[in-house]
Structure 1
């Protein structure tokens, strides 16, 4: 099932189900989060809760896409209660990279960079037996719900940014139940959007490079994630496609299991606050930055995975400075 959140012509929030390009509205549902909490409390699946409420005719999907009326498929009415995070070094790169990692021995480990060493740990211990903890992945914080950009909208580029690079990834979408346990609603295509020039200067700048706006959607796909997914990431500059590349995801293309990534996020008690929403990016092995592409304001990202329906499309626009040096005041 593909779920979306949108605004009707009166600006009211609604939840819809997309099937074969048509939208059916979920009766009485004004947010995916509320719908999920109802399902958790009733002890049923999200799909069953949708079917229980029933469906009625909704607006044309193309109208929502073209009119900028789509919202992220999961959010929180209080942005401070939506946590946006991610894990890196989770996907297998080329066969040559994998071979290189497998050939390293303990005597050679000291020669590895910190990034390659962490990747090696993931290859060796990121897929433990079910119910056990494996190697910890790289983890980062992106922000709260205030950094979410709706599908189709432009992603602001901070005036201090050195790069505006896309990261085509899958996101896991979660709500914390009244029992303090995380419940996965499903997955969505995401553009994690980072500053790769800054990160490349020194890996200790990773935390800074991730504090950027991001987007995911348009739809939330319920159910289990296919083990092998093939997507396409491209950058358009006007009518021209300036870069395009295939990317792989799903557990068959990852060195960490999803269960392991989820464990190492939700093992922290502060991430188990009832009612909170979590948006977690699972990483990628494909970036235009790695091919020497420099994104400019006015460019448009398009990330498509057929199993998730319509592509995620976002432009890039120059942002305004929110803060200047010397503006902190002493009370």
Structure 2
């Protein structure tokens, strides 16, 4: 499986790459004449070619795998203008959460998470605003779409996401549940150019002052969904208001791991880790509470 990465090297130069394989056996190629991963994806979309055919016409330069350790990664496909990006998600879609079975539902929930401003790269801090009531995470796959010139959604790929929200607000004021989701979304720095796996073991842990205080694993993937991916796509993209040409959509498919299900709440300084076994995707993000930061002028 090929993955697109968007990064800045130690000299401050931005470049787009393609990673083939995973782990120590991966190979890395720099895409010449690609100013951003979004620009590359637009070219791919407009080519109307398969990814393999499109890739065969790219000018690629081999890059040592160890060079990635010196890179700072951007969120894949994130536009320069936050306003042309939309982050949203479906809830209550998975057959199990935290390894426990969930009741069958006739329809999922849907929620809006904001524009591109709320996206966080894999190694950067997730921040809770001063007005927040609480802090929790869910681990999900995020599918990425581009709206083409004919207002049609074009699927590009998927990645692993940490869906950050305010479960305390959601539980104490159910009428404001939608607002509880207007929080950061952290995304792995690799966008896999393929459909999400049928299933994958995912794991997440919270490390607090050097000790693991929460650790769970479960199954994530298309076979774990109560609703087919095409059904979720149809529910969302039937609305013309969401299909403005050039818009980048990050769509969360629902969680199989949740701190809220365990009544666990994040604290300032916690490190959030998540990984997916099948595709090797992983994230590690520091959690920062703005109330604590401002009280100590951090």
TM-score by length of 1: 0.80
For residues 236 and 139 of structure 1, the distance between their equivalents in structure 2, rounded to whole angstroms, comes to 30
Q: Does 1:73 align with 2:76?
A: yes
SS at match of 2:38: helix
Residue 12 of structure 1 aligns with which residue?
13
In structure 2, distance between residues paired with 1:287 and 1:310: 18
Q: Is the 8 A contact 2:90 2:110 kept in 1?
A: yes
The match for 1:3 is: 4
TM-aligned CA deviation for residue 320 of structure 1: 6.6
5+ residue gaps, structure 2, are 293-298
Normalized per residue, the structure richer in strand is 2
Map of 2:185 onto structure 1 = 214
Match of 2:115 in 1: 144
Per-residue CA distance 1:238-274 (angstroms, 9 max, x = gap): 3211111112221211111100111111111011111
Higher helix share: 1
Count residues in correspondence: 286
**What are the residue-to-residue correspondences of 1:23-172 with 2, within 5 Å?**
23-58=28-63, 60=65, 64=68, 69-93=72-96, 97=101, 101=103, 120-122=105-107, 137-172=108-143
State whether residues 31 and 59 of structure 2, in contact with CA within 8 Å, keep that contact through their aligned partners in structure 1.
yes
Cα drift, residue 231 of structure 1: 0.6
Change (3 A) 1:205 1:68: farther
Q: 2:217 matched to 1:233?
A: no
SS in 2 for 1:307: coil
In 2: Cα distance, 1:97 partner to 1:88 partner: 15
Change (3 A) 1:163 1:64: farther
Secondary structure at the aligned position of 2:160 is classed as: strand
How far did 1:288 drift?
Answer: 1.9
Which of 212, 220, 224 is matched with 2:195 structurally? 224
RMSD: 2.1
| Partner SS, residue 226 of structure 2 | coil
- Per the TM alignment, residue 60 of structure 1 is displaced from its structure 2 partner at its CA by 4.2
Q: Which whole-Å CA distance do the structure 2 matches of 1:318 and 1:64 have between them?
A: 29
2:16 touches 2:30 (CA, 8 Å); kept in 1? Answer: yes
For the 8 Å contact 1:86–1:142, the answer to whether it is kept is: yes
Structure 1 contact 7–13 (Cα < 8 Å) conserved: yes
Q: By how many angstroms is 1:17 displaced?
A: 1.5
Distance 1:320 1:202 in 2: 21
Q: TM-score normalised to the size of structure 2?
A: 0.89
Deviations 1:199-222 (A, max 9, x none): 111432211100101111121111
**Secondary structure of the corresponding residue to residue 83 of structure 2:** helix
Contact 1:219 1:309 in 2 (8 A): no
Per-residue deviation, 1:59: 5.8
Question: Which of the pair has more CA radius of gyration?
Answer: 1
